[in-house]
Amino acid sequence: MSAPAFTPPARPEFLRDRRPSVPVHRRPVLAERHTSPVAAPAAIALPIAPAVVVESRGVSTHFGAGSGVVSALPIVIGYFPVAFALGIMAATMKLSFMATALMSLIVYAGSSQFVALSLLGAGASGWTIVLTTFVVNFRHFLMSLSLSRHLSSWPRSRRILLGLQLTDETFALLQSQAARKDPGEAHCFAVTHLAHASWFLGTIVGYWVSWLLPDTKQFGLDFAMCGMFIAMIVLQAANRMMVLAGLSAAAIAITLKAAGFGPGAVLFAAILGAGIGMGMEKWNSRSS
Amino acid sequence: MEFTQLLIIVFGMALVTAVPRIVPLGFLAGRPMPIWFEVWLKYVPISILSAMLIVDVVWRENELDLSPATNLMMHATLIAFLIAWYTRSLFATVAGGVIVLALLRHFS
């Protein structure tokens, strides 16, 4: 199977964004999408998410629950061992099973759960743990904001439900798909539910079979999430300013980390990196 | 630590995690925003993904590890970038990176 040609994020979308006189919810494309979600001809549906959907030979090239399941596979495969490790960690700390499972179910934010466990182990106060969780997870605000531009035709209740299950990985995937065309509720919820289930089940299984202590690292599975980020970064890197924003954010993140900045490093790096991209774009449009 | 206290912490964590996730999607979608803000927002995904990636790759065991000899993730990252660039495929990138890392660990 040959790799599908890559279609960079469509220019017109970006041009539309610069005209605030047209309210987002009245954009013709979105309105049409909302009334006939299934009727889009395959020729149009095909280039939307070439990296994910076209690979699913046999599965419809339309967005739907099926394409969601296929898209979610790398996340499901990536989440399970990480959640497994989380479960092991909680079990070795003798944390209650109920609390561990509940955390994966209702907090559902990987890195902050690991941080919370290590804070609990260090005997930190509840306030410290909750506040740290807030700082670590506030980056989801930016992700939710970014995604909200593409899904504004959805009913509010559904947008809120999707927001509840927003993680780094589901965001990376859904944003790259939604940036080209609204993938629809069935697709998006198939992705988020499966990812959530994988995380939850991984935690439980890890907790109960912690005595097995398998070294998941030898399989290189801890790279699955990184690989996913890399693919999404490359898909986003449509021009020099995008690349510059990404490189700046990376440089800032690592500088802040090395300076002992702790949990907020990624958030601040993302804000500043995007600011540099914006600055470059303004500067370019002025000088040309 | 008491179980009820632990439960309160977990619910607190859930609350402070859910609110930032919900507010923009639920209450800011479709609102007109200043142009500069929309331009800035366009650069948020790549910035946030890059920041998360670099921390995952070079921040090992609470310190910076830029040594090619000990940090095998860096090699896998480089190769995964090449795969992503040429194939534009999510699956090939993830699978390629995982295989490269597993092989590197096996032979080192």
pLDDT tens digits for B70-87? 899 999 999 999 999 999
Distance, in angstroms, between B103 CA and closest chain A CA? 8
Assigned token pair, B105: 């660990």
Q: Is the pLDDT of residue A92 over 60?
A: yes
Selection from A282, A226, A1, A14 nearest residue B49 by Cα: A226
Using the structure block, give the residue that is written with the tokens 């506040």: A131
For position A18, what pLDDT does the model report?
A: 42
CA atoms within 13 A on the CB side of B6: 19
Q: How far apart are CA A10 and CA A49, in angstroms?
A: 12
* CB spacing of A107 vs B48 below 8 angstroms: no
Q: For A192-236, write each residue's pLDDT tens digit.
A: 999 999 999 999 998 998 766 655 555 676 787 788 789 889 988
Q: How far apart are CA A183 and CA A174, in angstroms?
A: 8
Q: For A119-151, write each residue's pLDDT tens digit.
A: 888 788 888 889 888 888 888 999 999 999 899
| Confidence grade of residue A89 (pLDDT, cut at 50, 70, 90) | confident
| Confidence grade of residue A10 (pLDDT, cut at 50, 70, 90) | very low
Q: What is the DSSP string of A39-105?
A: ---HHHHGGGSTTTTTTSTTS-SS-SHHHHHHHHHHHHHHHHHHHHHHHHHHHHTT--HHHHHHIII
Using the structure block, give the residue that is written with the tokens 């001809």: A41
Q: For B36-73, write each residue's pLDDT tens digit.
A: 988 998 898 899 889 989 988 998 878 888 888 889 99
Report the chain A residue with the minimal C-alpha distance to residue B78.
A230
* CB spacing of B38 vs A20 below 8 angstroms: yes
- Using CB atoms, which residue from B50, B57, B87 is nearest to A273? B50
For position A174, what pLDDT does the model report?
A: 93
Q: Is the pLDDT of residue A58 over 50?
A: no
Report the chain B residue with the minimal C-alpha distance to residue A18.
B35
Q: For A36-57, write each residue's pLDDT tens digit.
A: 344 333 333 333 333 444 343 3
For position A42, what pLDDT does the model report?
A: 38
The number of C-beta contacts closer than 8 angstroms across A and B is 332
**Residues B80 and B96 sit within 8 Å (Cβ to Cβ):** yes
Identify the DSSP state of A138.
T
Assigned token pair, A23: 């309210």
| Confidence grade of residue A29 (pLDDT, cut at 50, 70, 90) | very low
Q: For A241-252, write each residue's pLDDT tens digit.
A: 999 999 999 999
**Residues B60 and B54 sit within 8 Å (Cβ to Cβ):** no
CB contacts, 8 Å: B4 with chain A: none
In chain A, % of residues over pLDDT 70? 75
* CB spacing of A231 vs B85 below 8 angstroms: no
Q: Is the pLDDT of residue A9 over 70?
A: no
* CB spacing of B6 vs A226 below 8 angstroms: no
Instruction: Count helices and strands (H / E) in chain B.
Output: 5, 2
**In a 3-state reduction of DSSP, which class is residue B64?**
strand
* CB spacing of B45 vs A175 below 8 angstroms: yes
